[in-house]
Amino acid sequence: MSHKSPDPRVVRSRQALLEAALAELAEAGYAGFSMESVAVRAGVGRSTLYRHWNDRLRLVADALEVLNVQPARPDPAAEVPARVRVLQLLTHLTDAVVHGPVAAVLPALVHAAAQSDAVADFWHGYSARRRQALVDAITAGVETGELRPVDPVRAAEALSGAVFYRRLMTDRPLTAAEVPGLVDVVLGPDA
């Protein structure tokens, strides 16, 4: 059971590089993303960068893992109504998709995922986890009869989809004010 304790220098370098990569991604976009800049930004030799990631897309994927923080699971005792929970989640997504750290990188991510399996894995997993929270909330609402009996998976896709659609295929991303109307359409109007 040898605990290969990691060299602290390695830890330091990796950390600095991941942060630098994220910053570079946000600033320069995915096109325009330069390994050189990342290394400089991190105050690290270019060779050190390549020692840890010889694939720029893996670097990007790893850097994005840091964003991979789930919105807190609801306190099961909190007994929030399903519809409210859905509104919370969607409002959060609506915001994240415009102002969050992922926002800056979103179009690049969509593109990169089409080029690299590693990025695709990350991105699909990330999306799946986000979506799952929505599915759970809808499922709960359907089970308690609070919501009409929709297919929760399909409904979650429609709801999330609308948010991303407005962000990526139109010039006006969804606003918080429009979220209730969206929920009405998919889950039925508030009783």
Partner DNA sequence: CGCTAACCGAGACGGTACGTCCCGTCTTTAC
Partner DNA sequence: GTAAAGACGGGACGTACCGTCTCGGTTAGCG
Instruction: Provide the binding-site residues for a copy of itself, judged by CB under 8 A.
Output: 29-33, 106-108, 110-115, 120, 123-124, 127-128, 150-151, 154-155, 157-166, 168-171, 178, 181-182, 184-186
Judged by CB under 7 A, which of 26, 29, 50, 185 binds DNA? 50
Judged by CB under 7 A, which of 31, 54, 145, 190 binds DNA? 54
Residue 50 tokens read as 């390549």
Q: Give, to the nearest 10 degrees, the angle between helix 117-143 and helix 152-169.
A: 130
Contact string (CB under 7 A) for DNA, positions 1-30, x = contact: -x-xx-xxxx-xx-----------------
What's the Cα-to-Cα distance from 84 to each of 3, 20, 59, 89, 153, rounded to whole Å?
46, 37, 37, 9, 18
CA proximity to 94, closest of 166, 30, 5: 166
Cβ(158)–Cβ(183) below 8 Å: no
Q: Residue 15 Cβ, how far from a copy of itself at the closest point, in Å?
A: 26
Q: Is 173 helix (H, G, I), strand (E, B) or coil?
A: coil
Q: Which residues contact 157 (CB under 8 A, 6 or more apart)?
A: 131
> From CA 68, how far away is CA 115, in angstroms rounded?
21
Q: Residue 115 Cβ, how far from DNA at the closest point, in Å?
A: 12
Q: Residue 175 Cβ, how far from a copy of itself at the closest point, in Å?
A: 12
Contact string (CB under 7 A) for DNA, positions 145-184, x = contact: ----------------------------------------
- Which chain residues interact with DNA by CB under 7 A? 2, 4-5, 7-10, 12-13, 33-37, 43-48, 50-52, 54, 56
